């Protein structure tokens, strides 16, 4: 509790919360251990209990990159740019306090929500909240600078995906009927994924300048551009996909595509609180292509437990018999959703700073997950005393901190919700600076990469 006391006492008052994450203590040079820390052979199990310090630092880094997709999203329906990124491509990571991780964003990714058979009244409501033909900012591609590449031992191309925010995305999350996901018919026979995730990943809108290409096409094009550039310079590469919740699901879909498109380039997916994505054949396809998957999840979070089986199977009269057969064989059938890769499970009860009451939203919150990750030593160990992440971050968009912390819940809001006074003294929505205006197909020139 000494750390909590230090946190509360600063000149007799509570410490002022900072929106910027502190750099992890485990951010030293890992280049000599790069294969081990990056999950060579697709197996991190030897590093998870106790949690390797170098791996913890890498996971916190990718968690911060994923959190940027939330902090950078303009969710204000009264804003003329609702659904876009609040910051321009070059300013995104610096404005969110993440320049210290050594990455630079090279391209934004937009996703189109295809509501399909949603009721007409709901489709009108969803489109009424969209900013541009119902294509919302869903993430970004970034690349490690020279200093970060030297520290980590690879030139890392990171693709960060956002979780569910827009109304249409919630609707798609509930579509659990499986659809085929076959990149290579010879190797991907029988691979299936959730229809909603697949739709988010592949839908496009020809009438939208931001959604005329699917998220799948946007990411594939940018990754190919960067791989070609750095391979041409003779550099060692890796591609890492990360995301929270829905973003974790999209990370797996994109990781499988990238591994198929770039054989010989190591591909990994580091996900946080992600649901199941596909069936056994889909997960086996990830393994056969060498995609390393590490899932970070909070034990009390329900999202990683779903979906289990498609609705068509749940509703079937023989579903109970099939479930019993699954239990007896120990091998999930082709119609069941399963997880891929290794799992690092976190326990809310380990933290002396969190409320232990049941909180569905709080358990699923990414900042809660990163707080627990920072304090993780081992399954049987207490919360580590060397944890350095700012406690106030937990309550950015939750109320998980104990009352003694004196940090208000849900405090991460723009001042006056973005309204400013104009020259006449009227309160109006602030105009964005020129460098923060959305630009279709904006990509960082290769000449700007070190």
Give the residue numbers annotated as catalytic, written as ranges: 245, 301, 364
From CA 333, how far away is CA 331, in angstroms rounded? 6
Residues 324, 328, 330, 334, CA torsion sign: negative
Query: Do 444 and 105 meet the contact criterion of CB atoms below 8 Å apart?
Result: yes
Taking CA 138 as the corner, what is the angle to CA 206 and CA 59, rounded to the nearest 5 degrees? 150
How distant, in Å, are the alpha carbons of 5, 15, 18, 197 from that of 12?
11, 9, 18, 49
**Per-residue buried b or exposed e for 123-135, using 16+ beta carbons within 10 Å of the residue's own CB:** beebeeebbbbbb
The DSSP bridge partners found for residue 10 are 13
Q: Which residues of 400-435 are buried (b: 16+ CB within 10 A; e: fewer)?
A: bbbeebebeeeeeeeeeebeeeeeeeeeeeeebeee
Spatial neighbors of 91 by CB under 8 A, at least 6 apart, are 435, 436
Q: What order of strands is seen across the sheet that includes strand 237-244?
A: 103-112, 135-144, 155-161, 237-244, 267-272, 292-298, 342-346
Q: CA-CA distance, 251 to 242, in Å (whole number)? A: 6
DSSP character for 51? B
User: What is the token pair recorded at 253?
Assistant: 């879909």
Largest Cα–Cα distance of the chain, in whole Å? 74
CB–CB of 391/383 below 8 Å? Answer: no
Nearest Cα neighbor of 174 from 193, 204, 194, 191 is 194
The span from the CA of 448 to the CA of 450, in Å, is 6
């Amino acid at each position: 509790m000494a750390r909590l006391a230090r946190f509360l006492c600063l000149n007799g008052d509570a410490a002022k919360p900072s929106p910027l994450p502190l750099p992890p203590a485990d951010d030293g040079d890992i280049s000599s251990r790069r294969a081990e820390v990056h999950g060579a052979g697709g197996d991190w199990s030897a590093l998870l209990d106790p949690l390797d310090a170098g791996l913890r630092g890498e996971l916190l880094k990718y968690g911060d990159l994923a959190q940027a997709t939330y902090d950078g999203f303009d969710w204000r329906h009264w804003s003329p740019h609702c659904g876009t990124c609040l910051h321009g491509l070059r300013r995104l990571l610096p404005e969110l306090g993440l320049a210290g991780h050594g990455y630079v964003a090279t391209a934004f990714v937009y996703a189109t929500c295809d509501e399909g058979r949603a009721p007409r009244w709901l489709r009108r409501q969803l489109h009424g909240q969209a900013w541009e033909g119902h294509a919302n900012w869903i993430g970004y591609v970034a690349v490690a600078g020279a200093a970060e590449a030297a520290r980590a031992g690879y030139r890392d191309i990171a693709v960060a995906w956002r979780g569910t925010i827009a109304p249409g995305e919630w609707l798609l999350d509930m579509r659990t009927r499986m659809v085929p996901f076959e990149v290579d018919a010879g190797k991907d026979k029988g691979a299936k994924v959730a229809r909603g995730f697949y739709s988010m990943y592949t839908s496009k809108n020809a009438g939208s300048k931001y959604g005329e290409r699917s998220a799948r096409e946007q990411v594939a094009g940018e990754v190919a551009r960067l791989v070609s550039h750095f391979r041409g310079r003779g550099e060692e590469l890796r591609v890492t996909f990360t995301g929270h919740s829905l973003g974790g699901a999209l990370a797996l879909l994109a990781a499988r595509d990238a591994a198929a498109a770039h054989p010989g380039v190591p591909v990994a997916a580091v996900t946080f609180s992600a649901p199941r994505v596909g069936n056994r054949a889909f997960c086996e396809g990830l393994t056969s292509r060498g995609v390393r998957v590490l899932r970070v999840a909070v034990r009390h979070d329900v999202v990683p437990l779903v979906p289990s089986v498609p609705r068509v199977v749940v509703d079937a009269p023989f579903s109970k018999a099939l479930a019993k057969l699954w239990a007896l064989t120990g091998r999930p059938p082709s119609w069941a959703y399963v997880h891929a890769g290794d799992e690092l499970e976190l326990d809310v009860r380990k933290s002396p700073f969190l409320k232990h009451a049941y909180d569905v939203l709080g358990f699923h919150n990414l900042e809660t997950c990163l707080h627990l990750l920072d304090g993780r030593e081992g399954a049987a160990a207490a919360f580590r005393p060397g944890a350095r992440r700012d406690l106030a971050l937990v309550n950015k968009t939750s109320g998980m901190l104990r009352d003694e912390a004196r940090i208000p819940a849900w405090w991460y809001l723009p001042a006056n919700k973005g309204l400013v006074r104009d020259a006449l003294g009227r309160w109006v929505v602030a105009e964005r600076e020129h460098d923060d205006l959305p630009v279709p197909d904006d990509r960082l020139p290769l000449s700007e990469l070190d």
